[in-house]
Structure 1
């Protein structure tokens, strides 16, 4: 153990923001009280760096920095005795660096040391100034010293101003001894941060495939990642030479762990090695398998639901047992245990595991372990592994199937068979949510001579991977190549490749390329009976500079691919142009009915003929009732969004999510959540959309899908623009645009700009909102994604009018009218009338606002209805129609509060104050139980209006007023109009009180 008051410069900690905030909190609290923090994590995650930072930053008093060493644990209480001596040295020379504490001598007494001695020593130092004690690697101490430290940490006097920060490695399980104290656990880096670290240390010269391989090997451990980088030559880092196999050897792993080589593997006990072999491609394993394979009986003491930790006497260091399952306390430790054993011992462990698995009927895992006991290529074993991987009746995960196919490829001699098996492994890796591994497997496949169909499958996987995590222009090219290579031998897969290519074109905002992918090989008249000019032609959506590429499509409408579909994204018209080749008719080519219906419906939508799209897309939507395949359910949800059937989209998306989870398809879960999030947004359920998007964001990053993650960032930005969190909006917009600009995601970019503008409008900054949205919604080459700009058009019209620039909105309203007639957005008709009211002369605006509110009653949705009520109330107030304005502004306030639109609610309160009426405080009065429409009717009735007069004022039927009035009486428990009037009057008086 060494002790000092200063620390040398430490390397920058990668990640660990939560832990750094916890350390800062301890340092801040030391000004007034004592504080304790335990930092736990496997070696290499930055525990020592955090303690070094704390030592450098603390200047309010003396610092004792203790680095624990193994020799101090040889005698009972050895570490604790050395610590107490170091504290006493600070008392003797508080302004100087404490001397190094020597290990206890052999003659030292073995009597116990209690927490009282340590607390007394600490109290003697922290008399006038606070004291910070940092104890690093306390797991190296003996159990007796750790117990005293734990006891003392729990008894620090609040007034003593002693700070104790302890770091403990998790791989020995000693972190469990400190449960109950404030603890923060360091987490491994996520793949994106690990990749960024490699780019930083190599000046971005590392080959992408090499970077992905090292990121996967390090499993988020920054120290191991840097050690791997130092081991590689420049040629290896640039991909010019093969990487060593394995990338991390036993010596490197032991060095990162801070342990001697082979520290965890003895010749007498193979349980740890057997566990390391069994968990090579799994997180945990059951007791019976490991115990019997290691030659131990699975005793009743081991089969327990109570966690048993390493060092308990039952298990060796490094293993933990809970609920009858073994797992390692550290992924780094598992690697070190496996690498530190000899090849013969590893092979014996795998053979023992294979025997037990075969006896249990688990064929594929048994074959894998048997294959890992081989050192040379074995064609027969390769064939058996490939056959087992192809058996879809076995309950095996996509990840394990990918491992099996890859191992089969390694054992295969024939080049064509190797390419086939590497490609199959890549397909399964993509389904398992491991896109970077899929790309590396495809690189191995490409190196082998193989038929065109095999290379076509490889390009299909590559294109699907790039569609979710890469430039969509690259995905489009790969998918078109796949379709060409698959045409002869696999026409069904070729059709799916073209659909996916259409998805990439949609993502790029390129309508013509999307149509070309959907129409490739067919004649329009032959398939749909559509002749030029038939149906509602939306090609000429607007005059002037707008072009047919500006024809609208429902937002969030995806083109499905064979591995699941999602809302298209891209760089916008003109920014990532694709040049499709000429169509090549292929008479007699067939395709599945559901794929054909979707393709025909999508093509009709893009051509602006919704009447021709409704029937085939309706069949796709209807198929969800009897479907349990997540990919087809996603296609159904997409069709429902295209048709504006939001309820059906939500139901299909929810079923797709359940089906994807049940099948363990990590690639589809983020996309199902994306569908749900967009459907909830379209339905006006912003809080639910945020919930789905938050979960989807985690799933997307976990599955390596940055493009999908960008969509979730856009949803979160849109939700926050309603809920009124400017900082959240800005952060989500920045994250969405960062990926959108790199990968050409036009829909994401347009949604993000809309979210930012709506946030500006909600905060009363219409000029900023109009400036931001103008280029997105006005006709011209810079207009936003053709499936999104019209959703932002009402926001722009409102911003332009409030900014005093109504002329800017005239063309946009004309274009939006065509979209509203399209029939795919239930909110559009009311929004259109609202836009016309904003631009109308006073003698027409009154009736238009009333008509807009009536249409909102049909469409539903608190937020849009409240926005119209707010604009109408503001318009009435400025014309001194204060009594009428009060009712609409109050309804707007209630509507905004019901949907959590805080910043918009504040606007309504401001208008009410300007109107001379104090708004109801949040949660006041039983009137808040009414809907906005009921509240408006109650206000009119309280003013003495008849039902007919109320109906005329709200532009609804008398029967509608009668219906709402009966519900109002029931909700409020009143029996007459007079009682209702008194209740409204009392609520207003209550709100007016200070």
Structure 2
């Protein structure tokens, strides 16, 4: 990492003098004091305000209060010049903790040291750091510090934190509840802070009211009076910094004529002009020293000295201090306010600024990334050598997972490239990196710039593919689909490979939207493209995603060959797994995902199109813990990238699982959050998944009328599926709810309409679900053949939860027909499956039916586990396998303290007193707990 910091306070700035005037912020100060002193307060608070509103002063007071109460304080200040360097802010924050970092588990330590550039150098081919593992490492580090004493993270000017640091900090911030760790973050008003969404507790600093503004003016050494005071109050608009600085300017000779007239310019422009005016008359050595300080920003004092800048004791500085431009911090000097730096820098002639950057670049030969940016700032025009330096900087940033930094470096390299074609290529590369930031507007800006520089069909096609790659993950499905298919049509003749890439993205949009007109459009365009061996895999993808049941038999027959061809390429194995899942070949899907993850763990990227397929496949296969892990990863990465649709997809899968496990409240919350994130007309797939989760949650609570209403919404009024893939698995649950609320006839119409739609293309799984639905809805004397048909195919064992539901339905039917002895075998098998999965509502229902069938069911162990929340059950199972709290936290993206808290609350419910007792307890819960009576 190319990181530069000054003395002890260089990264944090000077602490405000406790006696310094500070008026009108009593309520805000009390709020921050509560945050740092109370365990029940918000663990994270955003302090938002315009420049000069007092954010840094408030933060400084909170820091002093926390330090006085014995807290460990970690501070970092954003640096505009380092906002492009991945993990630079995190490096500043964690710099005092090198010993504590060394104590982290090996995977976490290696990931964090790799990101910060403090570990062994990694080979160029090594993948980028795993952002989630880095987030877990930061969380573990803060949790470990909290075990010793309360911790306060004070983050100032966070709008200038690099994206990678914000991702790691926001990941930890969402998991701080229950930890003695508080995060106070100061950010400028109007700046969106990546990773911290609208739900983050926020304290907005409003302008001071008239009374407070007048009190602040009264405290100034020379308080203005009369009409000058009125003008100062009017110009400042309640901004404390503006009040102080305007008052100071108004007290010098003829200052009234120097005050800006009322209202024509933004306040920041007024202040910058005032600061710049203080440069007039300064000695040349002082002006040069100030400009070098402004140009370097976060560069440390040793580099500053070697660059020819006077040290803090030099005679060049007193004039700048007297002008109110700089202040001393120990042996270092800093600008009194970011606006001072801005004013000093922009007041200098362009040639002087370039010379300052050349001077710094010359001294930074051992810091190639910072050197490249200074060289770029020194360029008056295109420069091939500097462009190449920035391209190398981008490559280094990408290897550290700094996709935003890489894209910015490539964008600047494109601006400096002398040849238009080289510039266009660099912009395409920049868009490729920017895709992984989730910032669609930026990707489109880069794409537009590339198009303006080239007519090369290959580059134009590539930029369209890159923009489409991210666009499919956004909420704008209708717009994105049209853009992708129009671009595919334009490229069909001249660039058929690029057209097929674009269609692959359009097919994903078709899946998310569920719009049938889009299916016809994709199929029409696909028919115009030439077929060859190299395009077979991608053509199969487009067909499977667009219409998995249209020609299912042929598509399934292609899977073995595609899987064999993808064996050495994990990313292609994942694609094969998604296709298999779409075709209801869940065993194939899970095997492909397992092999892919064994060979390659996705690092640093966004969730790819249909990434939710991984979680769904694990749900269907009965590997629910892995499904929840996949949901947690997709949610974390989606939120970090600002992709609400990706987060919504994961939330719906998780909500379905929570409902199956008996946590109806959490399931409802997750499903409703997902619905709030998307437009139901634009994303029918997520809408259907959310309705299925809400239906399952209602059924868990016995609210069958509500359950039926939610599940009925998965189909149209005429009974057709709302979504061509996501609706069909709800048929059996719809029938089950209908039976319990008197809606048999309506449900039967839906089931038969869907059966006709599927016809001979129904998968064995869907045939089984149709059989269960028909058995539930049939007259009692006609039900048995349907249930038997739903259980007949041995392959259905690969969908254990759905099979267990059918077994229970059959057993209930048999017992009601007084065939009790026949009911016992399916009951025992169903109960065993529900216990293994932790499906609490179904365990209770199967136990009740087992007793009615004369089975002696042992309650103690299953009931004890069933009392736990789904999260607690996962933690208990992992603890029973011998994993430590840290290892469990790394796996579930929780802090070790949170894991310990869950175990502490779980032990009394389980009737155990020691961790060593968990293995026998959990093993007992997985054994069939009944015998024939």
Residues 456 and 486 of structure 1 are in contact (CA less than 8 Å); yes or no, is this contact kept in structure 2? yes
Name the CA distance, whole Å, in 1 between partners of 2:460 and 2:206. 35
Over 3 Å counting, the alpha-carbon distance change for 1:273 and 1:918 in structure 2 is farther
Residue 388 of structure 2 aligns with which residue? 384
Residue 610 of structure 1 aligns with which residue? 552
Residues 452 and 485 of structure 1 are in contact (CA less than 8 Å); yes or no, is this contact kept in structure 2? no
Structure 1 residue 707, shift from structure 2 partner: 1.8
Residue among 48, 69, 75 paired with 1:150? 69
Per-residue CA deviations over 1:117-172 (Å, capped at 9, x if unaligned) read xxxxxxxxxxxxxxxxxx9734786xxx987x336x89xxxxxxxxxxxx996549
Per-residue CA deviations over 1:823-882 (Å, capped at 9, x if unaligned) read 775543443332333234444544654554554785244422332233233334434555
Residue 735 of structure 1 aligns with which residue? 673
Over 3 Å counting, the alpha-carbon distance change for 1:293 and 1:423 in structure 2 is farther
Tell me which of the two structures has the higher relative contact order, counting C-alpha pairs closer than 8 angstroms and 6 or more residues apart. Answer: 2
Name the CA distance, whole Å, in 1 between partners of 2:28 and 2:63. 23
Structure 1 residue 683, shift from structure 2 partner: 1.5
Residue 406 in structure 1 maps to residue 411 in structure 2:
yes
**Residue-pair matches, total:** 684
Residue among 642, 658, 661 paired with 2:582? 642
Residues 770 and 800 of structure 1 are in contact (CA less than 8 Å); yes or no, is this contact kept in structure 2? yes
Residue 13 of structure 2 aligns with which residue? none
Name the CA distance, whole Å, in 2 between partners of 1:612 and 1:277. 61
Residue among 488, 493, 496 paired with 1:491? 496
Residue among 415, 424, 430 paired with 1:425? 430
Which shows bigger deviation, 866-875 or 648-657? 648-657
Structure 1 residue 677, shift from structure 2 partner: 1.0
TM-score, structure 2 length as denominator?
Answer: 0.58
Name the CA distance, whole Å, in 2 between partners of 1:592 and 1:718. 36
Over 3 Å counting, the alpha-carbon distance change for 1:316 and 1:277 in structure 2 is closer
Residues 622 and 801 of structure 2 are in contact (CA less than 8 Å); yes or no, is this contact kept in structure 1? yes
Name the CA distance, whole Å, in 2 between partners of 1:250 and 1:657. 57
Per-residue CA deviations over 1:502-524 (Å, capped at 9, x if unaligned) read 332333213342243244263xx
Name the CA distance, whole Å, in 2 between partners of 1:830 and 1:679. 17
Residues 736 and 776 of structure 2 are in contact (CA less than 8 Å); yes or no, is this contact kept in structure 1? yes
Does the residue aligned with 2:729 lie in a helix, a strand or coil?
helix
Residue 699 in structure 1 maps to residue 699 in structure 2:
no
Name the CA distance, whole Å, in 1 between partners of 2:353 and 2:203. 26
Residue among 529, 538, 541 paired with 1:598? 541
Residue 708 in structure 1 maps to residue 649 in structure 2:
no
Name the CA distance, whole Å, in 2 between partners of 1:350 and 1:849. 78
Residue 473 in structure 1 maps to residue 478 in structure 2:
yes
Residue among 518, 523, 527 paired with 1:513? 518
Over 3 Å counting, the alpha-carbon distance change for 1:847 and 1:44 in structure 2 is closer
Name the CA distance, whole Å, in 1 between partners of 2:359 and 2:415. 22
Larger Rg: 1
Residue 619 in structure 1 maps to residue 587 in structure 2:
no
1:11-410, aligned counterparts within 5 Å? Answer: 44=48, 137-138=60-61, 149-150=68-69, 171=77, 180-183=148-151, 185=153, 214-215=191-192, 276=297, 351=358, 367-374=372-379, 376-381=380-385, 384=388, 398-410=403-415
Over 3 Å counting, the alpha-carbon distance change for 1:913 and 1:370 in structure 2 is same
Over 3 Å counting, the alpha-carbon distance change for 1:860 and 1:414 in structure 2 is closer
TM-score, structure 1 length as denominator?
Answer: 0.55
Residue among 503, 507, 531 paired with 1:502? 507
Structure 1 residue 345, shift from structure 2 partner: 9.5
Does the residue aligned with 2:69 lie in a helix, a strand or coil?
helix
Over 3 Å counting, the alpha-carbon distance change for 1:426 and 1:925 in structure 2 is closer
Name the CA distance, whole Å, in 2 between partners of 1:681 and 1:832. 19
Residues 707 and 739 of structure 1 are in contact (CA less than 8 Å); yes or no, is this contact kept in structure 2? yes
Name the CA distance, whole Å, in 2 between partners of 1:247 and 1:406. 31
Name the CA distance, whole Å, in 2 between partners of 1:68 and 1:873. 66
Per-residue CA deviations over 1:100-130 (Å, capped at 9, x if unaligned) read xxxxxxxxxxxxxxxxxxxxxxxxxxxxxxx
Structure 1 residue 775, shift from structure 2 partner: 4.1
Query: 5+ residue gaps in structure 2?
Result: 1-17, 79-91, 98-144, 171-187, 208-234, 238-265, 276-285, 311-328, 867-922
Does the residue aligned with 1:776 lie in a helix, a strand or coil?
coil
Over 3 Å counting, the alpha-carbon distance change for 1:873 and 1:615 in structure 2 is closer
Residue 760 in structure 1 maps to residue 698 in structure 2:
yes
Structure 1 residue 747, shift from structure 2 partner: 0.9
Over 3 Å counting, the alpha-carbon distance change for 1:333 and 1:814 in structure 2 is farther
Structure 1 residue 314, shift from structure 2 partner: 11
Residues 503 and 542 of structure 2 are in contact (CA less than 8 Å); yes or no, is this contact kept in structure 1? no
Structure 1 residue 738, shift from structure 2 partner: 2.4
Does the residue aligned with 1:402 lie in a helix, a strand or coil?
helix
Structure 1 residue 767, shift from structure 2 partner: 2.4
Per-residue CA deviations over 1:744-764 (Å, capped at 9, x if unaligned) read 011111111111112222322
Name the CA distance, whole Å, in 2 between partners of 1:273 and 1:447. 34
Per-residue CA deviations over 1:739-790 (Å, capped at 9, x if unaligned) read 3326701111111111111222232232222222224246738631011111
Structure 1 residue 338, shift from structure 2 partner: 8.6
Name the CA distance, whole Å, in 1 between partners of 2:377 and 2:494. 34
Residue 247 of structure 2 aligns with which residue? none
Name the CA distance, whole Å, in 1 between partners of 2:303 and 2:813. 75
Residue 744 of structure 2 aligns with which residue? 806
Name the CA distance, whole Å, in 1 between partners of 2:38 and 2:20. 22
Residue 681 in structure 1 maps to residue 623 in structure 2:
no
Structure 1 residue 476, shift from structure 2 partner: 1.0
Name the CA distance, whole Å, in 2 between partners of 1:700 and 1:184. 27
Residues 136 and 168 of structure 1 are in contact (CA less than 8 Å); yes or no, is this contact kept in structure 2? no
Name the CA distance, whole Å, in 2 between partners of 1:509 and 1:678. 18
Name the CA distance, whole Å, in 2 between partners of 1:371 and 1:905. 66
Name the CA distance, whole Å, in 2 between partners of 1:984 and 1:384. 72
Structure 1 residue 697, shift from structure 2 partner: 0.6
Residues 511 and 545 of structure 2 are in contact (CA less than 8 Å); yes or no, is this contact kept in structure 1? no
Residue among 641, 652, 661 paired with 1:723? 661
Per-residue CA deviations over 1:485-534 (Å, capped at 9, x if unaligned) read 44465432222112322332333213342243244263xxxxxxxxxxxx
Name the CA distance, whole Å, in 1 between partners of 2:852 and 2:674. 38
Structure 1 residue 591, shift from structure 2 partner: 6.2
Query: 5+ residue gaps in structure 1?
Result: 27-36, 50-66, 71-134, 155-166, 195-210, 233-245, 256-264, 279-284, 297-312, 319-331, 523-584, 929-970, 973-979, 989-994
Per-residue CA deviations over 1:343-391 (Å, capped at 9, x if unaligned) read 799867865775577668x6x77544421333x3224357536875898
Residues 66 and 152 of structure 2 are in contact (CA less than 8 Å); yes or no, is this contact kept in structure 1? no
Residues 753 and 773 of structure 1 are in contact (CA less than 8 Å); yes or no, is this contact kept in structure 2? yes
Does the residue aligned with 2:468 lie in a helix, a strand or coil?
helix
Which shows bigger deviation, 418-427 or 168-177? 168-177
Over 3 Å counting, the alpha-carbon distance change for 1:231 and 1:870 in structure 2 is farther
Structure 1 residue 617, shift from structure 2 partner: 4.3
Structure 1 residue 912, shift from structure 2 partner: 4.8
1:767-916, aligned counterparts within 5 Å? Answer: 767-777=705-715, 780=718, 783-814=721-752, 817=755, 825=763, 827-846=765-784, 848-849=786-787, 852-853=790-791, 855=793, 858-882=796-820, 885=823, 888-912=826-850
Name the CA distance, whole Å, in 2 between partners of 1:512 and 1:865. 35
Which shows bigger deviation, 691-700 or 854-863? 854-863
Over 3 Å counting, the alpha-carbon distance change for 1:214 and 1:462 in structure 2 is farther
